[in-house]
Structures are given as structure tokens and as C-alpha cells.
Amino acid sequence: MNKSDLVEHIAQEAGTDKAAAGRALDAALKGISDALSKGESVALAGFGTFETRERAARTGRNPQTGESMDIAASTSAGFKPASALKKLLNG
């Protein structure tokens, strides 16, 4: 499912037009992105939690040359599914 499929699904389930559903989805994604950029987590009951994860700096290897290289520390987004979602996925 891509974004346009999701917008169509939201419009159908909410009984609204695709434009309004697209704006609602964009607003929800912006809210999640804004919270994560501030280091906050976003918990959606019954679905899961979006959170930031820190990766420490480390030394890696270039797979083409085998040369060692430094990999900088970074922050990424992560998702931890709720138990209800896990149960739905696993039967």
C-alpha cells in the first residue's frame, strides 16, 4: 500500500473526499515527524509507538575496498508495535 492507496482507504472509511483525507494524513505525519524531531515519542494506543533511536559512532569497513572508515553517530526513527497489532499480525 502506498500513500495514495492509504488516502483512498481513509476517504472511504471516513466518508470524506480524497482531498480532505490527504490533508488529514499529511497533518498526522507532520505531527509525528515534528514530535520525533524534538526527541519525543508518539504512542498510538492499540497500534504502537514511534520513537527515536540513537546509534553510537563506530568503525566500519568499505565492502568494496576493505578499508576501515569512521561512521558518525546518528539518530533514526523506530517503531515498536503494540501487543494488539502483534496479535493481529500473528493470528
Distance, C-alpha 24 to centroid of its chain: 17
Q: What is the pTM of this model?
A: 0.81
| Residues 66, 89: Cα–Cα separation, whole Å | 40
CATH among 3.40.50.1370, 3.10.20.740, 4.10.520.10, 3.90.330.10 for 41-91: 4.10.520.10
- For the chain, the structural domain boundaries read 1-40, 41-91
CB 9 within 8 A of CB 18: no
Cα–Cα distance between 91 and 86 in angstroms, integer? 8
What residues form DSSP beta bridges with 69? Answer: 60
* Model pLDDT for residues 25-77, shown as the tens digit of each residue: 999 999 999 999 999 999 999 999 999 999 999 999 999 999 999 999 999 99
